[in-house]
């Protein structure tokens, strides 16, 4: 069975490095336990929960470039089980990734869930889509409340993906994740504050009337 991601990632030079480090035997007969060329509901849920990812491209001169992409949670859309898409908003106007994928449509995405120390790696082919070329796709990726200028859409055709081990991933939490975690404590604190205020009011009223509680 094809493993997918490693079929692409392991080149002769990578194999040589594995042999040099005594690790080649670990991958010689390795077989994936499932297909890695179609997203399942598990990947769909993970992708929908992300508010950022990293995208690596390569220039005509062979230099790699890694760009951080961010937006509202779920801005990277699952179009179907083999296709992703996202809105490309105006940034610093260097257009390095945009130019790179014109010359070489291969890219690699890293989707990180720091809170749960989980990482999804995805090999894709990138297609630039004009905003008026596919109205349905434009509507899918557009976030009306996100205040940024939309310039184009990137449509990503899946080649292979893989889940990575949690080793060396330091847990980090976004402002939204922290807010969601402490929300029950805030709610409980609000209840206690109301109860405390009510008790103070009752004690004050009882003291003024000379009555005991």
Contact between 57 and 104 under an 8 Å Cβ cutoff? The reply is: yes
Q: Which fold has domain 37-164?
A: Pnp Oxidase; Chain A (2.30.110)
For the chain, 213 residues long, the average pLDDT of each consecutive 10-residue run is 73 88 75 71 96 96 95 94 94 90 96 94 96 94 87 95 86 84 89 90 77 56
Cα-to-chain-centroid distance, residue 59: 24
DSSP one-letter string for 63-113: -EEEEEEE-STT-SEEEETTEEEEEEE--SS--HHHHHHHH--EEEEEEEE
How does DSSP classify residue 165? Answer: P
- Confidence (pLDDT) at 1: 38
**What are phi and psi for residue 153, nearest 5 degrees?**
-120, 140
Q: Of 48, 80, 76, which is closest to residue 141 (Cα–Cα)? A: 76
State the CB neighbour count (10 A cutoff) for residue 8: 14
Cα–Cα distance list, 67 to 44, 55, 56, 184, 202 (Å): 22, 5, 6, 36, 60
Token code pair at residue 147: 């205040």
- Confidence (pLDDT) at 173: 85
- Confidence (pLDDT) at 29: 65
- Confidence (pLDDT) at 127: 96
- Confidence (pLDDT) at 30: 62
Token code pair at residue 13: 């030079």
Alpha-carbon distance of 80 to 125, in angstroms, equals 15
Rg of the chain over CA atoms, in angstroms? 25
Q: Is 61 helix (H, G, I), strand (E, B) or coil?
A: coil
Residue matched to tokens 């209840």: 191
Please name every residue paired with 128 in a beta bridge, in sequence order, or none if there are none: 154
Domain locations in the chain?
1-32, 37-164, 173-213
Say if strands 150-164 and 118-129 run parallel, antiparallel, or are unpaired: antiparallel
């Amino acid at each position: 069975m094809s493993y997918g991601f490693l079929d692409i990632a392991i080149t002769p030079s990578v194999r040589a490095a594995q042999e040099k480090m005594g690790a080649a035997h670990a991958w010689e007969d390795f077989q994936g336990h499932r297909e890695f060329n179609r997203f399942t509901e598990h990947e769909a849920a993970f992708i929908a929960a992300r508010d950022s990812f990293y995208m690596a491209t390569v220039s005509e001169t062979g230099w790699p470039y890694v760009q951080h992409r961010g937006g509202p949670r779920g801005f990277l859309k699952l179009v179907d089980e083999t296709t992703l898409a996202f809105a490309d908003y105006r940034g610093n106007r260097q257009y390095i990734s945009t130019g790179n994928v014109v010359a070489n449509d291969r890219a690699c995405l890293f989707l990180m869930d720091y809170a749960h120390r989980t990482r999804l790696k995805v090999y894709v082919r990138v297609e630039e889509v004009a905003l008026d070329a596919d109205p349905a796709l434009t509507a899918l990726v557009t976030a009306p409340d996100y205040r940024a200028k939309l310039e184009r859409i990137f449509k990503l055709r899946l080649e292979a993906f893989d889940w990575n081990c949690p080793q060396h991933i330091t847990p980090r939490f976004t402002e939204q994740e922290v807010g969601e975690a402490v929300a029950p404590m805030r709610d409980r604190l609000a209840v206690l504050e109301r109860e405390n205020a009510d008790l103070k009011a009752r004690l004050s009223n009882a003291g003024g009337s000379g009555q005991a509680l």
